[in-house]
Amino acid sequence: MPDLESIAREYLSHLRDCLENPSARTEANYDWIMLEMYDQTVRNYSGGSMADFLKAPEIVNEDYIVPRIGHVARALIAESRATRLHGSNPTLEEQTHRSQSRVVADP
């Protein structure tokens, strides 16, 4: 079960960091916590947009994200990297379209 109070505190911290020290890193952390907060409350399929995000070719703040969600993040990132090394990977547009068309509920 997500701890929304903790996520909200983390959001406020990253919002402040982004405003006071704008950088690619602070913006990436802010973007992730926004995604985490909303995805935890409105997702309609397993993994949600967080899983889609973790399949990106480059994750600037991987060292921030992995400790937040643990082995699930490591597994998704590793799977995505292996797929890119050994076969074709859908484009971001294909992934976005696929994720928007899913209607399977998250268990």
pTM for the whole thing?
0.71
- Residue pLDDT, tens place only, 85-96: 877 555 555 555
> What is the CB neighbour count within 10 angstroms for residue 66?
16
Please tell me the predicted confidence (pLDDT) of residue 83.
87
44: DSSP letter: -
Confidence of residue 63 (pLDDT cuts 50, 70, 90): very high
Mean pLDDT calculated for residue range 54-79 = 92
**Mean pLDDT rounded to a whole number for the chain:** 82
pLDDT at 1 over 80: no
Strand segments, DSSP code E, in 24-95 are: none
Contact 106, 48 (CB under 8 A): yes
| Mean pLDDT to the nearest integer, 28-37 | 95
